[in-house]
């Protein structure tokens, strides 16, 4: 199963966290990365190839 790296970006677009994930393909990797995009924007990479970006989805944020 291919490995991907999810980079979570802060408000200035700088990497503040990163996670390794495994997924069957690019689509599955992007879908998996959506769990991190609940609070930040994330980029998904496989090696030196950027697979895509997952933007913050404000509809997923829990309301207090």
pLDDT digits (tens, 9 = 90+) for 8-56: 998 888 998 999 999 999 999 999 998 877 667 899 999 999 999 998 7
Q: How many whole angstroms separate alpha carbon 1 and alpha carbon 52?
A: 18
Q: Look at residue 63 in the predicted model and tell me its pLDDT.
A: 46
- 4 touches 18 (CB < 8 A): no
Q: Which residue has the higher pLDDT, 43 or 60?
A: 43
Phi, psi of 8 (to 5 degrees): -95, 130
Q: Look at residue 42 in the predicted model and tell me its pLDDT.
A: 92
Query: 20 vs 33, 36, 46, CA distance in Å?
Result: 10, 12, 10
Domain total of the chain: 1
Q: What is the pTM of this model?
A: 0.81
- Domain hosting residue 46, numbered range: 3-60
């Amino acid at each position: 199963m291919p490995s991907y790296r999810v980079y979570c970006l802060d408000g200035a677009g700088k990497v503040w966290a990163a996670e390794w994930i495994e997924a069957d393909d690019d689509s599955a990797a992007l879908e998996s990365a959506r769990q991190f995009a609940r609070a930040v924007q994330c980029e998904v990479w496989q090696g030196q190839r950027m697979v895509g970006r997952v933007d913050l989805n404000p509809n997923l944020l829990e309301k207090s």
